[in-house]
Amino acid sequence: MDLAYTPEEEAFRARARRWIEENKPAGEGRHDYESLRAWQRRLFAAGYLGAAWPKEWGGAGLSDIEQAILNEELTRARAPAPLGSMGISWVGPAILRFGSDAQRQRFVPRLLAGDDIWATGYSEPGAGSDMYNTQTRAVRDGAAWVINGQKIWTSLAHASNWYFLLTRTRSDGHKVAGLSVFLVPMDAPGIEIRPTKMITGDSEFSEVFLKDVRVPADSLLGAENQGYEIVSSALIHERSGIASGIRFDHGLERLLATARREGVAGDPVWRQRIAELATKARIMRVMGLRVLSDQLHNRFNPHTSAAMKCIATRLSQELSEAGMEIEGYHGLLFDPDRAADEGVAANWCGRFLYDRSMTIAGGTSEIQRNIVAERVLGLPRR
């Protein structure tokens, strides 16, 4: 891999960095949905959303490496994620790859512009993140599909108007072979959303109940029973990227500032522990480059993203645990209003509490370990 950027790529980086600094909102404000939607629209108007997507579907037609540089610069600037970031990260790429021209025309430009916000329905009460055991069922009824089931841990369901929904459409044969994905309006009759109160006091996740939800035949994404391939492809986009390494660098900067403030920066035990966290952060950066290389060379490797998800989840938790320990009794204080923006001045408690959810978000760590054990290490399934 050539890790050097061309002069043209560095010029693009400089333009993107300048624009981001001049246009990003103040603070992170992850609960101010209208502000995040407005930020998304500014990014879209500037050609900085879906930058590597085809122009005919609303993208900017840039290269994949320019998209990666843009992601890196947005993260480096601590710019907030747009309101529709989940749809942009993996629903949009899935529709572009597996959707019909009519679906691309209908959904992709609105997704980028912030007119449509997408939630994703994978996990279930009896299956967790194990796609093999998906029980939500879609049955063909003439020109429509009828969907029944329940999903849990659906992020931002209450703020979304479309659902990227994994269902079972066939029971015979291998469990993976009977999965399909549907594009479902969240206001369809028969859908009920119940927000789940988190330990932080937020309700970012929801349970979603589907009872006799009827959707037209063209709501099916890709081919019938192609759902496993579609979701696996989408999750690669969720779990990968060089920007993740920068996020951990930010976490380390904050941890070091906390250590200096609390007078433990010179303590040999804490210096060793922080050095170990820095090493893991660098590993994440290098793994992100490896995944970027796979993307640039059109290599489909969901197993690497499963390993990255496990490492990233644990590293996030280790950073916030360390911050809590350094702060001592002060670290136990939690102010939801200050924690909402995750500012540098806020203590670590809010971050620590939120990071508990990372074990579940994007696929449970247990399932990711099974994937690595079976498909990377070749261990037998018991």
> pLDDT, tens digit, for every residue of 244-256?
678 899 999 999 9
Give yes or no for a contact between 98 and 230, defined as CB atoms under 8 angstroms apart.
Answer: yes
What mean pLDDT do residues 212-225 have?
97
Q: What separation in angstroms does the CA of 131 have from each of 71, 115, 155, 203, 360?
A: 29, 29, 17, 24, 14
When mean pLDDT is compared across 21-30, 75-84, 324-333, the lowest value belongs to 21-30
User: Could you read off the pLDDT of 42-71 as tens digits, one per residue?
Assistant: 999 999 988 889 999 888 888 888 888 998
R_g (Cα) of the chain, nearest Å: 21
- At 236, is the pLDDT very low, low, confident or very high (cuts 50, 70, 90)? low
Residue 99 within any structural domain of the chain: no
Domain limit, last residue, from 30, 58, 83 = 83
Residue 11 within any structural domain of the chain: yes
Cβ neighbors of 279 (< 8 A, separation 6 or more) are none
Does residue 150 surpass a pLDDT of 80? yes
More confident residue, 27 or 225: 225
Query: What backbone torsions phi and psi does residue 306 show, to the nearest 5 degrees?
Result: -65, -40
Task: Provide the β-strand partners of residue 191.
Answer: 210
Residue 172 within any structural domain of the chain: yes
Does residue 157 surpass a pLDDT of 80? yes
216 and 259 share a domain?
no
Does residue 240 surpass a pLDDT of 60? no
Cβ neighbors of 105 (< 8 A, separation 6 or more) are 57
The overall longest dimension of the chain from CA atoms, in Å, is 71
Length of the chain: 382
More confident residue, 263 or 292: 263
E-strand ranges in the chain read 118-121, 137-141, 144-155, 162-168, 179-185, 191-196, 205-216, 220-221
Q: What share of the chain is helix, strand, coil (3-state, %, to 5)?
A: 55, 15, 30
What mean pLDDT do residues 24-36 have?
76
CA 318 to chain centre: 20
Round to whole Å and give the CA distance between 304 and 376.
Answer: 8
User: Could you read off the pLDDT of 275-315 as tens digits, one per residue?
Assistant: 999 999 998 888 888 777 777 777 766 667 777 788 888 99
What mean pLDDT do residues 340-363 have?
71
Residue 192: give the domain boundaries. Answer: 118-224
What mean pLDDT do residues 114-141 have?
88
| Residue 371: CATH number of its domain | 1.20.140.10
| Residue 74: CATH number of its domain | 1.10.540.10
Highest mean pLDDT out of 37-41, 67-71, 86-90: 37-41
254 and 200 share a domain?
no
361 and 252 share a domain?
yes
359 and 269 share a domain?
yes
Residue 238 annotated in active site: yes
204 and 146 share a domain?
yes
Does residue 1 surpass a pLDDT of 80? no
258 and 332 share a domain?
yes
- At 345, is the pLDDT very low, low, confident or very high (cuts 50, 70, 90)? very low
Round to whole Å and give the CA distance between 57 and 67.
Answer: 16
262 and 365 share a domain?
yes
Residue 231 within any structural domain of the chain: no
H/E segment holding residue 249: helix 243-261
E-strand ranges in 130-219 read 137-141, 144-155, 162-168, 179-185, 191-196, 205-216
Residue 209 within any structural domain of the chain: yes
Q: What separation in angstroms does the CA of 42 have from each of 21, 111, 115?
A: 13, 14, 13
28, 224, 238, 321: the catalytic one is 238
> What is this structure's pTM?
0.81
CB-count burial class (<10 Å; 0-12, 13-18, 19+) for 182: buried
Q: What separation in angstroms does the CA of 174 have from each of 43, 122, 171, 179?
A: 43, 18, 8, 10
pLDDT attached to residue 300: 63
Round to whole Å and give the CA distance between 231 and 236.
Answer: 9
Residue % of the chain over a pLDDT of 70? 89
Residue 372 within any structural domain of the chain: yes
Does residue 211 surpass a pLDDT of 90? yes
For 326-339, b where at least 16 C-beta lie within 10 A, e where not — what string? bbeeebeebeeeeb
When mean pLDDT is compared across 16-30, 110-124, 131-145, 287-301, the lowest value belongs to 287-301
pLDDT attached to residue 166: 96
- At 94, is the pLDDT very low, low, confident or very high (cuts 50, 70, 90)? very high
Residue 249 within any structural domain of the chain: yes
Does residue 33 surpass a pLDDT of 90? no
Domain limit, last residue, from 224, 248, 282 = 224
193 and 259 share a domain?
no
Give yes or no for a contact between 294 and 346, defined as CB atoms under 8 angstroms apart.
Answer: no
Number of domains in the chain: 3
Across the chain, mean pLDDT equals 86
For 322, left (φ over 0), alpha (ψ -120 to 50), or beta? alpha
Does residue 13 surpass a pLDDT of 80? yes
